[in-house]
Amino acid sequence: MTAKTKPTILIVVGITGDLSHRKLLPAIEQIVKAQAAPEKFEVVGISRRDVTAAEVLKGSMAEVQKGFLSKHLNMFQMDLSNPADYNRLKDYLKELEVQMGAPAQRLFYLSVPPQISEPIIRCLGEVGLAESSDTKLLLEKPFGTDLTSAQELITQTRKYFKEEQIYRIDHYLAKDMAQNLVVFRGGNSLFKRTWNKDFIERIQVVASEAIDIEGRTTFYEQTGALRDVVQSHLLQLAALTLMQSPEVGQVSEVPKHRLAALKQLQLPAGQPITNSVKRAQYKGYQRDVNNPDSRTETFVSLTLESQDPAWAGVPIQLITGKSLKEKLTEIRITYKKEQQFEANELVIKFQPHEEIELCLWIKVPGYEWRVERHFLQLEFNEQFGEIREAYEQVLLDAIVGNHTFFTSSEEVLETWRILQPILSAWSMQDQDLQLYPPGTDYQELM
Ligand code: BG6
């Protein structure tokens, strides 16, 4: 069944939030415009206050305000901490289904902090809103705040929802370039055969951002760069890079291979954490969050190793931060060399453009024998036109029930297992937190 033939009600908890405005609402509009959305499709926005659909849409793009959502966003006011309100919601959804004229699957999309999602899940379960197999739960990261809380959240959620009903969103996995990585490294013999420790010297996964925390004060103070970006996006990109390549066409095997790759990752054993992890905070952050004592990191870089023999001795560096010199997201693969001019680098770029770049040495044409480094580039925008936004894919995959590019509970636990020693060490002391001026190049902080 395609998304178009699946009558769907998408229930959005957190509709007035930043993520909904910036990503979700435009993505809904876009899949409708591309004629990929269900033909029978309604969106229900949950809010505590009495807000109209027009008010919710007002902060979004003009296209969203005038398009599909102006007719199909239904607002439902309720108190999320009041179990009785969930019964009202249940009746409301039944009524909406009658109006749609067909049984519709229900997608509950929770864009709320992890501390709040657990009681919401419990209430949904207790009024019987989780029972039907045609009900799905879409969860935004972070999934817990450490290994123990993630385990707890998973156990609680499983009381009401089966694993097949749960879609843990990591929008990096839904990015075209992340998915392309599977094909690029597995489908080209040149790279497939050299994708290991014998040829590769180092792997870097970088997500540098020029923006600061943009007013997300409470969220960021409780989260920090390690939990916000490393636990999810960067570890998943690392897993896609390190995993065994699935057989051609066997894309459904990707989650199994990602999990196996995560299981092999760890911090270097027998060393103090500060040898492999650096953290820093941009100057002005304490003012931004109105907390002069804040020790939350806005930058982190860490070096991991894999126990997979294919990657023995290859450092895997994960780097992210806010208020840095530029927006740049990339996976940088540095190849081994015997002489300086042999050094090759393959860079898989997500931001600022989706691009694959291979750095090669060539002789510059001319009378002299001059060797220089140049780049072979494949720019995706130029080749394929505009690239779809990750959230469009997230929605369509959840609607049709394709879990391949969502995070499983086992993966979530593995990522927290990898990072837990850092969290434990940081909870004891914060002497190693450095300060950096906004606009710093990430390489100066590593
Ligand atoms: C989100 C983080 O998951 O990813 C944000 O919470 C970050 O802090 C964002 O800015 C980056 O996403 P993208 O797609 O713009 O690289």
Residue 120: inside a domain: yes
Together in a domain, 195 and 79: no
What does the block give as tokens for 96?
A: 């909406």
**Residue in 21, 171, 233, 257 annotated catalytic:** 233
Same-domain pairing of 369 and 266: yes
Distance CA 225, CA 207 (A): 10
Q: How many CB atoms within 10 Å of residue 190?
A: 8
Q: Is 111 within the bounds of a domain?
A: yes
Task: Verify that 211 and 318 share a domain, yes or no.
Answer: yes
Examine the domain organization and report whether 246 and 365 are in the same domain. yes
Which pLDDT value is given to residue 1?
66
Mean predicted confidence (pLDDT) in 381-393: 93
Q: Find which of 138-142, 203-207, 379-383 is predicted with most confidence, using mean pLDDT.
A: 203-207
Residue 329, pLDDT above cutoff 70 = yes
In a domain? residue 234:
yes
Residue 154 lies in a domain: no
Domain end (from 88, 121, 140): 140
Q: Domain range for residue 84? A: 8-140
pTM: 0.95
In a domain, 146, yes or no: no
Report the relative pairing of strands 41-47 and 73-77 from DSSP bridges. parallel
CA of 209 to the centre of ligand 1 (A): 9
What does the mean pLDDT of the chain come to? 95
Q: What are phi and psi of 406, to 5 degrees?
A: -115, 165
The reply to whether 27 falls in a domain is yes
Element of type H or E holding 237: helix 235-242
Q: What distance in angstroms lies between residue 78's CA and the mean position of ligand 1's atoms? A: 29
CB-based contact 53:71 (threshold 8 Å): no
One domain for residues 99 and 196:
no
Atom of ligand 1 nearest to the CA of 329: 16
Residue in this structure with the two tokens 């009524």, named with its chain if needed: 95
CA trace torsion 247, 253, 255, 260 (10° rounding): -60
26-35: per-residue pLDDT in tens? 999 999 999 9
Q: Are residues 281 and 356 in the same domain?
A: yes
CATH number reported for the structural domain that contains residue 71 in this entry = 3.40.50.720
pLDDT at 122: 95
What is the model's pLDDT at position 149? 94
Instruction: Give, in degrees to the nearest 5, the angle at Cα 357 between 384 and 373.
Output: 140
Q: What is the CATH number of the domain that holds 377?
A: 3.30.360.10
Domain boundary among 87, 117, 140: 140
105 lies in the same domain as 195: no
Q: Are residues 256 and 364 in the same domain?
A: yes
- Report the C-alpha gap between 44 and 395 in whole angstroms: 15
Q: Is residue 167 part of a domain?
A: no
| Probe target for ligand 1 pocket from 24, 169, 214, 228, with the most ligand atoms within 8 Å of CB | 228
pLDDT recorded at residue 340: 72
Q: What is the pLDDT of residues 255-285, one digit of tens each?
A: 999 999 999 999 999 999 999 999 999 999 9
Please check whether residues 117 and 266 belong to one and the same domain.
no
Instruction: Report pLDDT for 387.
Output: 87
Q: Which of 140, 164, 197 is the last residue of a domain?
A: 140
Is the same domain home to 181 and 123?
Answer: no
Q: Looking at the structure, do residues 104 and 236 belong to the same domain, yes or no?
A: no
Rounded CA-CA distance 299/308 in Å is 28
- 168 occurs within a structural domain: no
- Total tally of structural domains belonging to the chain: 2
Find out whether 242 and 261 touch, Cβ atoms under 8 Å: yes
pLDDT score recorded for residue 113: 80
Band the pLDDT of 232: cuts 50, 70, 90.
very high
d(CA 111, CA 109): 6
For ligand 1, atom 9: residue with the closest CA? 229
- Are 200 and 316 within one domain? yes
